[in-house]
Chains A and B, each alone.
Chain A
Amino acid sequence: MGAAAKKRAAKPAAQEVVIEASGLDLTFQTNDGPVHALKDVNLSINKGEFVSFIGPSGCGKTTFLRTIAALEQPTGGQLSVNGMSPDQARRNRAYGYVFQAAGLYPWRTIEKNIKLPLEIMGFDRSEQDERVARVLQLVDLEGFGKKFPWQLSGGMQQRASIARALAFDADILLMDEPFGALDEIVRDHLNEQLLKLWARTNKTIGFVTHSIPEAVYLSTKIVVMSPRPGRITDVIDSDLPKERPLDIRDTPEFLAIAQRVREGLRAGHAYDE
């Protein structure tokens, strides 16, 4: 609550751009010829924003997120993260990445899984323990540190993987359909928790989804994308309040934004194929 209030006060002052793409192109060479995964993508994301990328499969939303994380190399245009190239930003631990599946290593306990990036980044033992305890508390998994991944439910595993991405204090959290494989009830719960976590940690979040309600519920900015070639068709700034109980989804404001997203998706999608 206190953190959220502070954030609201801080936001207008600091319009600091953390991710900026201009004229970004990415073409994959395949056996069936070139595939334009991204074409002329222009977008800037400010510090502390929660940005959702939504669109049908093949629209390049995941590719764009991977490009920000330097997991893919763009074939044209400019992309900067914290004023650096994505590669440099990665070496500076600018972001944590959460994948579609939890991707916890089955031979490591939850605690050891969260320590994985910390070990690689060279934190000392006592600091590792301290950070593990802190992020486990952030995702409500205290007391589960000694468990192996298979002893946890799917939702808990995904929370553990978010804790892993938070452990090394990256300012940017990139999430690629993190709740896509979970059922609706668990998903609602995790969305609520994610918003609280975002308010508490003041991170910039890039979130890929193909659920309209999820995108509208979570985001301050919704980026609507369409396929062939992958491009941005609409960018919607949400004016919903910071505090978002789940039943905000029934308010006219929410439905109006959802309607605009739906229209954006329809406009960008060719149905004649």
Chain B
Amino acid sequence: MSVALDQAGAGGCPLCAAIRRLIRAVAPVLVVVGVIIALWYGAATQMNKPWTLDAANRAGVELSTAQIIADTMNQERPVLPTPHQVLAELWDTAVAEPVLRERRGSLTGNPRSLVFHAYQTLAPTLLGFVVGTLAGILLAIGIVHNRAMDLSVMPWAIASQTIPILAIAPIVIVVLNAVGLSGLVPKSLISAYLSFFPVAVSMVKGLRSPNGMDLDLLRTYSASASETFWKLRLPASVPFLFTSLKVAVAAALVGTIVAELPTGARFGLGARLLTGSYYGQTIQIWSALFMAAICAAVLVSLIGMIERATLKRMGLNR
């Protein structure tokens, strides 16, 4: 039956075919999203039910099942907020709320706006990402070209990643504050700390990816180490670099948010998470989490676009 329908459709207009292709591409995604949302609503109902029943018990009223379900979906401080509550919060704080507000005669960031908080997190993320990437590339260059660094740096780099960032974030903040640095720089330092590692590891692999023959060829030209680097090692490492950049940018974002948590930051997605948990504002926590996820998705896909354009230019996009 469905096969017959399929064939009838295939013989039809090109627009129908395009629509069918689109449905075929989108349908699996929609199914997965639908299942997740359904599970989410189910879990929210179950987890928020004790509070509803407790309140009803204290008020001395009997609730029907439909009433219970309706109540669990619209509590002010639910254990698990429902998708529509999170969406509404996202809309109210990110779209409806102005990013800047007038205060004492000048325009400043509006702490009620989620976009403002996202900006407060994104700025140090990007700075930390750039610093971390440069540090990772420089470390990799050192490791590939210097035997002493090859033997000594990598164990330290690995050790640095095993230290819980939550433990050292406050130390970094306090130390930097003592020398008069606060705000952007300490946060970005911590995000750089998390993002240099994947870049360094991948770049070491990338810079070492040319095989013996590629290197012998340059030796027959009596090429110097720097010519070998610029003409062979660096271009060969570009695909490795982009793969690691995607990991690094996500790590940088996590680093910034984590840096905001134990340090009493007033603005930023991490601060938003923290105040949300202080006051039991679960909806606020979840909307901040969603904002962080959106930021990460945008950053990673931006790098993906740059990657595709670069590799296409280099003729490596087979």
Chain A: residues with CB nearer than 8 A to chain B?
A: 69-71, 90-91, 95-97, 99-101, 103, 105-109, 116-117, 119-121, 148, 150
Contacts and interface: CB of A to CB of B under 8 A. Distances in A.
Contacts of B315: 106-109, 148, 150
B220 A97 contact: yes
B221 A117 contact: yes
B215 to A, nearest CB: 10
Interface stretch (B10-18, B227-235, B254-262, B283-291): B227-235
Given A91-B222, A105-B214, 11 more contacts: A90-B222, A97-B217, A100-B213, A101-B213, A103-B213, A105-B235, A107-B236, A109-B315, A116-B231, A120-B227, A120-B231
Contact of A95 (B213, B220, B238): B220
B218 interface: yes
Contacts of A106: 315-316
B20 interface: no
B314 interface: yes
Q: How large is the interface on B (under 10, 10 to 19, 20 to 34, 35 or more residues)?
A: 20 to 34
A162 B213 CA distance: 15
B231 A71 contact: no
Given A105-B232, A107-B235, A99 B314 contact: no
A120 to B, nearest CB: 5
Q: Which 4 A-B pairs have the closest CB atoms?
A: A148-B315, A107-B314, A97-B220, A120-B221
Q: Is the interface of B mostly helix, strand, loop or mixed?
A: helix
Contacts of B216: 71, 97, 99
B24 interface: no
A103 B220 contact: no
27 contacts: A70-B219, A71-B216, A71-B219, A95-B220, A97-B217, A97-B220, A99-B213, A99-B217, A100-B213, A103-B214, A103-B217, A105-B214, A105-B231, A105-B232, A105-B236, A106-B315, A107-B235, A107-B236, A107-B314, A108-B315, A109-B315, A116-B231, A117-B221, A120-B221, A120-B222, A120-B223, A120-B231
Interface string B195-234: 0000000000000000001101111111100010001100
B316 to A, nearest CB: 6
Contacts of B213: 99-101, 103
Nearest to B235: A107
Contacts of B221: 116-117, 120-121
B318 interface: yes
A262 B316 CA distance: 45
B217 A119 contact: no
B239 to A, nearest CB: 10
A148 B315 CA distance: 6
A71 to B, nearest CB: 6
Contacts of A95: 220
B220 A69 contact: yes
A116 B238 CA distance: 19
B220 A90 contact: yes
Specify which of B217, B219, B316 lies most central, judged by the most chain A CB atoms within 10 Å of its CB: B217
Nearest to B232: A105
Interface in B260-318: 314-316, 318
B262 to A, nearest CB: 45
B76 to A, nearest CB: 58
Which of A91, A106, A109 has the most B CB atoms < 10 Å from its CB? A106
Interface string B168-209: 000000000000000000000000000000000000000000
Select the residue from A105, A117, A148 with max chain B CB neighbours within 10 A.
A105
A119 B218 CA distance: 11
B2 to A, nearest CB: 41
Interface string B33-75: 0000000000000000000000000000000000000000000
Given A116-B231, A119-B231, A107 B223 contact: no
Most chain A C-beta atoms within 10 Å of own C-beta, residue among B221, B227, B235: B221
B116 to A, nearest CB: 42
A150 B293 CA distance: 38
A117 B218 CA distance: 8
Nearest to B228: A120
A153 to B, nearest CB: 15
A109 B316 CA distance: 11
Contacts of B220: 69, 71, 90, 95-97
